[in-house]
Structure 1
Amino acid sequence: MAFQDFDIIQERRRQERRRTLKKRLIIALVVLFVLGGIAAVAVVAFGSMKNNTNDSNKNENKGGKHHPPSTGSSPKTPSSAPATPATTQSAAFQLTSVCESSSYKSLCTDTVAKTTAQNPNAATDPKELVKSFITSTTEELDKAFAKAGTIRLNTEVEKRAFDVCKEVMENAKEELRSSFDGAGTIVPGKPQANGDLNNWLSAVMSYQETCIDSFPEGPLKLQFMTTFNSSEGHTSNSLALVSHLAGLTNLPQVQPAPKQVQPAPKQVPPDPKQVQPDPKAVQPDPKAAKPDPKAVQPDPKAAKPDPKLVKPDPKAVQPDPKAVQPDPKAVLPDPKAVKPDPKAVQPVPKQVPPDPKAVQPAPKLVQPAPKRRLLQTGFPLLAEDGLPEWMNHEERKLLKDEEGAMPKPNVIVAQDGTGKFKTINEALVAIPPKHQGRYVIFVKKGTYIETVIVAKHMVNLTIYGEGSQKTIITGAKNFVDGIPTYHTATFVAAGPGFIARSIGFINTAGPDKHQAVAARVSADKAIFINCRFEGFQDTLYAHTHRQYYRNCVIAGTIDFIFGDAAAVFQGCMIYVRKPSPNQKNIVTAQGRKDKFETTGIVLQNCKILPEEPFKPFTKQFKSYLGRPWKQYSRTIIMESQIEDFIDPAGWLEWEGNFALDTLFYGEFKNTGPGARTQGRVKWAGRKDITREEAMAYTVETFLQGTWVKEAGGPVRMGLGS
């Protein structure tokens, strides 16, 4: 038995040696096959690189012909050391995939080809690609505006409209410079970190639309639309690229292109307990049998394209196929179209402060505007504490607490001569150009009939009064009198970081004068607390950038909260007034042109109710929550009280089917008889949203609202309980 057992063991060992030998021979054959494949790929890649180099040179010549570099304000294309050709080819292919979510795909792919040819690092560093996209946008905008300047203007209305274009184009160029400088701040996987960049680029889109909208309907407006079509496409693609990259979990590091073949990790030594092959057995040549780890194991991270770069982020806003082409209905009559009057309301330029020793002419005695009483009669009577009588104890306490202690003013404005200045504009002109920190102006009670403009260079300015019905800024500019809507504003806030408290802003033009703006706000991170905005059509123009309104009163008839800002209204009283015969009331008209803009109107914890004189007539007029001014109009109403005068349909179309599939109108946890959504319109974009969806439109998320807290303003960062 022992000898038989020995024979069996010997036979087993021979079989194991044969299996081992067979296995090693197979490995050797595989190694040879892989090495041959690598050699073949290298030959093909070398040929492809050569062709790509020739194509790049051709593209550079094409780019120079069709896209001449802009002189002047355009940012320069970022320069950098060239990447290796193989890496450039691979990364460019991956980044081209971001164009899949673009509304202007052909323009996007052309821009990628051009920019990567001019700046090879743009193919490997997404941040460089964003800079290149912004540069292309700037160049196209410069060309568009230069071409617009050659268009013949025949009437005074057309000339005033072009003055608006000049003003907003300067703003757009400044935003593009900020965008270029901020392109390096993109943080992968954290869209909130890209708030500034999205904010600036969204404003650039809005400014171009403002220019077009300033012209009356007709061939001239269509000509301007065509002129700015390309620059708007580049702006949209820049926004789309930022949105795509923000959704990635990782971005390539800015470094020299790594070699495709990386050293393989250390091999695990064989287990000594395993049966070892007979040393006397014939072994294959170790040089042929053992695969070279450095040659056989290319780094999978280098060989395979990053799937997150190849596929657009599923969470990113997906392109609507119907919106890829410019909407033909955009040319339809647009009441907002005729919006600007440049000469009527130019931003206050930097001026030399008046000589305090000089005798100032005595201003005319300011009397309330003739229609002021008519506008105020519809509001509830005020109690001794200055608040409406209908407010309960908790609401009164909340408002009193939020009023808080006012900051010490740098200057005081008083009509009775007890301050340093008698008009607000005098105080604005006297702001020291090199003032550091926040500048505070206290305006004593009175009705100030003047067009007040907080210009863009007036940064971090606070203006507060003695109460929104005591300190009043009023005017009566309107569209019927030949002033573009953009320039009818009684009050304009353009300086970043602007804060207003306890002031009333009123346009007394009346309903027969059509568009008549009480306040136009384009200041970024603007805050209005306990303020009042009164008018009829187009009362509050929330034009651009991030804005926050708390405990304010807004009153009007048609589209009386409109614009393309990212604006949140908390705890505000929205009063609908009696319109002219045959008119409808519409609370909001949001103007988001592009699906990648981070803009919208949010009403949170507000009350939407009829003004007292309108109550007996609510059955005679239809009233709606909003309508789509632009293709991707976005309005959210949440945790608010809606009275029963609002039509059960809730929302009104602009004209025909325009924007009904691309708008987004969300309602969440509203109360009151007008909040029932069973009878709402059945549009694809109208939705009862969930709590999770509503969170995207809170101050914390939608406005990146830490700046509201830092400014000391009362704010609810999230949703209610």
Structure 2
Amino acid sequence: MMRLELILIVLLFGTGYSVVSHFNTSNELMITENAYLNWLQRMGSLNHSVFNEAKNKITPCKKIKVHKNPRFGDYTTVQKAINSIPIVNDCRVVISVSAGTYREKIEIPATMAYISLEGAGARKTIIQWDDTADKKGPNGQPLGTYASATFAVNAPYFIAKHITFKNKAPPPPSGALGKQAVALRISADTAAFIDCKFIGAQDTLYDHKGRHYFKNCYIQGSVDFIFGDGLSLYENCHLRAKTKSYGALTAQKRESMLEETGFSFLNCKITGSGALYLGRAWGSFSRVVFAYTYMDKIITPRGWYDWGDKNREMTVFFGQFKCSGPGANFGGRVSWSRELTQQEAKPFISLSFIDGHEWLMNL
């Protein structure tokens, strides 16, 4: 394939506008700009998604109370409450979890849709476990990152509010292998997390796949602590690094120019310790944008890391838009990241990025 054809395809799907400067003629430049503007217009519309239309169910058909004292609730553990729901569920079930620390490892099956989990406050209601990727599972083999999650969701239309998901595994030393320890894994479409906390170290929040919305959440970790291939909007979230050395906030795994995935951080705050990359290019077409976000001095001037693969610098889409704070200075950033214009940022800074007009109303 000719170089120009390859780059035009890349640009059409929003993966790397910065390579325009490599073209030699004004005609090529005009064609490329038009392709990119067409993509921006499509992404800015309400009909850009390749997902099926999402039709949420908000009004509950059943409410379940979890309390450590059996006299005050229907169940004493979250897992027992989930087990009481029909395996194929088609109406909204609200599980109210009273204050307390629940030492449980939980997984919601793919057919158990429309579950809401509501705590008494993120500081009061905590679900925690301590598995790591190198821990042996029931079959004697290492669990791996995927199965290390304290709380795993495989069903669509999940909602969590006012609750903490925690992996208590101790922070690993720098360079340690097999110490990924997921607090929550979301592997389903149309999930929302409001006023929640996600606490861990390496690989805290596995934003695996599907459209997700995180609002007013606190997310803490060290290396790649928000990672996966989701299409997700993080709004008004506090992202806190906890490391004594280098760390990375995101590792987005978009592997193809055809994938409608990426992470967008809107009106967030980044603080903590150590030296932090905004993101590492886990996928060859990794896509991450920070807009109107405060960045503390912990952000390394270069901002982004190519995962040791120079080819990814031509295909990733890493950008900032009107960010603030001592770590937001774009002057030292890698040349293959972008300071976005208003038009370039538009697709990433509203609910339309995740088709939220379809499934996030009345939460």
Please indicate the TM-score interval, normalised by the length of the shorter structure.
Answer: 0.7 to 0.9
SS in structure 2 at match of 1:427: helix
Alignment deviations for residues 457-489 of structure 1 (CA, whole Å, 9 cap, x no partner):
111110100011211110111023222101000
Matched, 1:671 2:317: no
- Cα distance in 2 for residues equivalent to 1:636 and 1:702: 12
Matched, 1:468 2:322: no
- Cα distance in 1 for residues equivalent to 2:332 and 2:258: 30
- Cα distance in 1 for residues equivalent to 2:84 and 2:346: 43
Partner of 2:218: 553
SS in structure 2 at match of 1:665: strand
- In the superposition, the TM-score normalised over structure 1's length comes to 0.41
Alignment deviations for residues 653-705 of structure 1 (CA, whole Å, 9 cap, x no partner):
3114141111000100001111110111112xx11111111111133331111
- Cα distance in 1 for residues equivalent to 2:311 and 2:143: 27
Give the residue type in structure 1 aligned to 2:164. Answer: G
Higher-Rg structure is: 1
One of 508, 525, 538 as aligned partner of 2:190: 525
Structure 2 segments unaligned to the other structure (5+ residues): 1-5, 11-41, 136-141, 173-177
SS in structure 2 at match of 1:559: strand
- 1 or 2, which has the higher helix percentage? 1
- Cα distance in 2 for residues equivalent to 1:408 and 1:460: 10
- Offset, 1:410: 1.1
SS in structure 1 at match of 2:312: coil
CA contact (8 A) 2:212 2:231 kept: yes
CA contact (8 A) 1:573 1:606 kept: yes
One of 276, 280, 289 as aligned partner of 1:636: 289
- Cα distance in 2 for residues equivalent to 1:199 and 1:509: 39
- Cα distance in 2 for residues equivalent to 1:194 and 1:646: 32
Alignment deviations for residues 29-64 of structure 1 (CA, whole Å, 9 cap, x no partner):
xxxxxxxxxxxxxxxxxxxxxxxxxxxxxxxxxxxx
CA contact (8 A) 2:157 2:191 kept: yes
Partner of 2:171: 511
- Offset, 1:523: 2.0
Partner of 2:112: 458
Matched, 1:419 2:84: no
Partner of 1:702: 353
Matched, 1:500 2:142: no
CA contact (8 A) 1:199 1:546 kept: no
- Residues 194-209 of structure 1 aligned to structure 2 (within 5 Å): 195-197=49-51
- Cα distance in 2 for residues equivalent to 1:494 and 1:651: 30
- Residues 30-109 of structure 1 aligned to structure 2 (within 5 Å): none
**Residues 436 and 657 of structure 1: is their aligned pair in 2 closer, same or farther, counting only changes over 3 Å?**
closer
Q: Which structure carries more relative contact order (alpha carbon 8 Å, separation 6+)?
A: 2
Give the residue type in structure 2 aligned to 1:195. Answer: S
- Cα distance in 1 for residues equivalent to 2:305 and 2:46: 32
Partner of 2:335: 682
One of 537, 540, 546 as aligned partner of 2:202: 537
The sequence identity of aligned pairs, in percent, is 36
Give the residue type in structure 2 aligned to 1:193. Answer: N
**Residues 191 and 413 of structure 1: is their aligned pair in 2 closer, same or farther, counting only changes over 3 Å?**
same
- Offset, 1:534: 0.5
Matched, 1:602 2:264: yes
Partner of 1:448: 102
CA contact (8 A) 2:45 2:352 kept: no
**Residues 586 and 429 of structure 1: is their aligned pair in 2 closer, same or farther, counting only changes over 3 Å?**
same
**Residues 489 and 586 of structure 1: is their aligned pair in 2 closer, same or farther, counting only changes over 3 Å?**
same
One of 239, 243, 246 as aligned partner of 1:574: 239
- Cα distance in 1 for residues equivalent to 2:350 and 2:81: 32
SS in structure 2 at match of 1:195: coil
- Offset, 1:560: 0.3
CA contact (8 A) 1:649 1:680 kept: yes
SS in structure 2 at match of 1:569: strand
Give the residue type in structure 2 aligned to 1:495. Answer: A
- Cα distance in 2 for residues equivalent to 1:189 and 1:514: 37
- Offset, 1:449: 1.1
- Cα distance in 1 for residues equivalent to 2:312 and 2:190: 29
- Residues 284-299 of structure 1 aligned to structure 2 (within 5 Å): none
- Offset, 1:577: 0.2
- Cα distance in 2 for residues equivalent to 1:576 and 1:100: 35
- Offset, 1:538: 0.3
Partner of 1:649: 302
CA contact (8 A) 1:644 1:674 kept: yes
- Residues 90-489 of structure 1 aligned to structure 2 (within 5 Å): 192-193=46-47, 195-197=49-51, 410-417=63-70, 418-433=72-87, 436-481=90-135, 482-489=142-149
- Cα distance in 2 for residues equivalent to 1:491 and 1:665: 29
Give the residue type in structure 2 aligned to 1:486. Answer: Y
**Residues 422 and 607 of structure 1: is their aligned pair in 2 closer, same or farther, counting only changes over 3 Å?**
same
Of residues 408-417 and 561-570 in structure 1, the stretch that sits farther from structure 2 once superposed is 408-417
Alignment deviations for residues 415-474 of structure 1 (CA, whole Å, 9 cap, x no partner):
121211111111111113565531111011111111111211111110100011211110
Partner of 1:590: 252
- Cα distance in 2 for residues equivalent to 1:435 and 1:522: 17
**Residues 628 and 100 of structure 1: is their aligned pair in 2 closer, same or farther, counting only changes over 3 Å?**
closer
Give the residue type in structure 2 aligned to 1:507. Answer: N
CA contact (8 A) 2:61 2:91 kept: no
- Offset, 1:643: 0.6
**Residues 466 and 189 of structure 1: is their aligned pair in 2 closer, same or farther, counting only changes over 3 Å?**
closer
One of 279, 283, 287 as aligned partner of 1:626: 279
Give the residue type in structure 1 aligned to 2:334. Answer: V
**Residues 678 and 498 of structure 1: is their aligned pair in 2 closer, same or farther, counting only changes over 3 Å?**
same
Alignment deviations for residues 180-221 of structure 1 (CA, whole Å, 9 cap, x no partner):
xxxxxxxx9997435254899xxxxxxxxxxxxxxxxxxxxx
CA contact (8 A) 2:60 2:92 kept: no
Partner of 1:662: 315
CA contact (8 A) 1:527 1:708 kept: no
- Cα distance in 2 for residues equivalent to 1:441 and 1:657: 47
SS in structure 1 at match of 2:258: coil
**Residues 529 and 480 of structure 1: is their aligned pair in 2 closer, same or farther, counting only changes over 3 Å?**
same
Partner of 1:565: 230
CA contact (8 A) 1:525 1:707 kept: no
- Offset, 1:709: 3.9
